[in-house]
Amino acid sequence: MSILFLILSILPIIAGVAIKVLFIPASEGISVTGAHIFFTIDLPMGGLPITEAQVNSWLVVISLFFFCLFLTHGLKTKNISKRQVVAEWIVEKVEGLVRSNMGEFFMGFAPFICAILGLSAFSSLQSLFGLYAATSDINVIAGWSVMVFFLITYYKLKAGPLVYFKGFAEPVAFFAPINVVSEFATPFSMTFRHYGNVLSGSIISVLIATGLGGLSKIVFQWLPGKIGELELFRIGLPAVFSIYFDIFSGCLQAFIFAMLTMLYVSGGFPEEEYYKRKARKMAKQSN
């Protein structure tokens, strides 16, 4: 079963490459475009385009699902496998991250934060396989940011609507309009920060690879025959730059998005007022 789950976690990547080869036209030279639209579903509110970013995002979800099954299959208390060691290490690190940034009250957030880290990081790493990174589509990141915004608002309302709306007038009522704008600017800032950094890294990687190809033709054009047409500078060097722009930057943005989620949710939670309200409710029930 472990081997089966591992194969099933790899198959979505292979499927993504096959879909790109079969259904997406190849481009020549430098091409910086949005996600390819496969088809559009007609709805009463308008058309719903099914894009390359959506498909690749779902492929990452399926891949991570089977990879989690691979890591957690056959858990034991003694003589544990290396897979279980990796799974326990991931759980311990994520729980430690949540505990240090959000506190004990939010320990139930650990699976959610782990899901954000995995989904964001692996979506960005899709570019290593020649696929369109789902995080390069602003609509995907905007969906995550809106979901986080609802979570922030939900926990801010834990102490009641009065405390929530009163918070807009702090430190003084004069700042209320600014606080309202700041409140609704949160999902926009999270979206553009993540989207902009990932997309810019992909564009820079394409420009570097193309530039090295042109430089190769200039430097080696004096060589006879087909040898002079070889783009020798594109061998190895783009991979070195990809370590930063695709791997390091993609994983860093996933970590930043997760950190902002934890800080915004826990920072907006009025813990003291929440426990006071809870105590008042318990006092009323006891009376």
**For residue 224, pLDDT beyond 90:** no
Q: What is the pLDDT of residues 13-64, one digit of tens each?
A: 999 999 998 988 876 655 667 788 899 998 888 888 899 999 999 999 999 9
Instruction: Identify the burial level of 174 via C-beta atoms within 10 angstroms of its C-beta, where 0-12 means exposed, 13-18 middle and 19 or more buried.
Output: exposed
Domain that holds residue 62: 2-286
**For residue 155, pLDDT beyond 80:** yes
H or E element at residue 133: none
Supply the pLDDT for residue 154: 94
Cα dihedral 117/119/120/123 (nearest 10):
150
For the residues of 209-232, what is the DSSP string, one character each?
HHHHHHHHHHHHTTS-GGGGG--G
**For residue 179, pLDDT beyond 80:** yes
* CB-based contact 194:135 (threshold 8 Å): yes
Question: What one-character DSSP code corresponds to residue 183?
Answer: H
pTM for the whole structure: 0.88
Tell me if residue 25 falls in helix, strand or coil: coil
Q: How confident is the model at residue 212 (pLDDT cuts 50, 70, 90)?
A: confident
* CB-based contact 13:129 (threshold 8 Å): yes
Question: What one-character DSSP code corresponds to residue 200?
Answer: H
Q: How confident is the model at residue 271 (pLDDT cuts 50, 70, 90)?
A: confident
* CB-based contact 196:190 (threshold 8 Å): no
Question: Cβ–Cβ contacts within 10 Å for residue 119, how many?
Answer: 20
Mean pLDDT value across the chain: 87
Q: What is the pLDDT of residues 121-133, one digit of tens each?
A: 999 988 888 888 8
Supply the pLDDT for residue 129: 86
Q: How confident is the model at residue 78 (pLDDT cuts 50, 70, 90)?
A: confident
For the residues of 76-120, what is the DSSP string, one character each?
-SSS--HHHHHHHHHHHHHHHHHHHHH-GGGGGGHHHHHHHHHHH
Distance CA 223, CA 109 (A): 61
Tell me if residue 41 falls in helix, strand or coil: strand
In the chain, the number of structural domains is 1
Question: Cβ–Cβ contacts within 10 Å for residue 58, how many?
Answer: 13
**What is the mean predicted confidence (pLDDT) over 232-257?**
79
Tell me if residue 50 falls in helix, strand or coil: strand
Distance CA 121, CA 126 (A): 9
Q: What is the pLDDT of residues 86-115, one digit of tens each?
A: 999 999 999 999 999 999 999 999 999 999
Structure tokens at 276: 């006071």
Q: Which amino acid is at 85?
A: V
Supply the pLDDT for residue 30: 59
Nearest of 210, 217, 249 to residue 232 by alpha carbon: 217
Q: Which residue has the higher pLDDT, 1 or 227?
A: 1
Supply the pLDDT for residue 90: 95
Q: How confident is the model at residue 229 (pLDDT cuts 50, 70, 90)?
A: low
Peptide bond just before 25 cis, omega within 30 deg = no
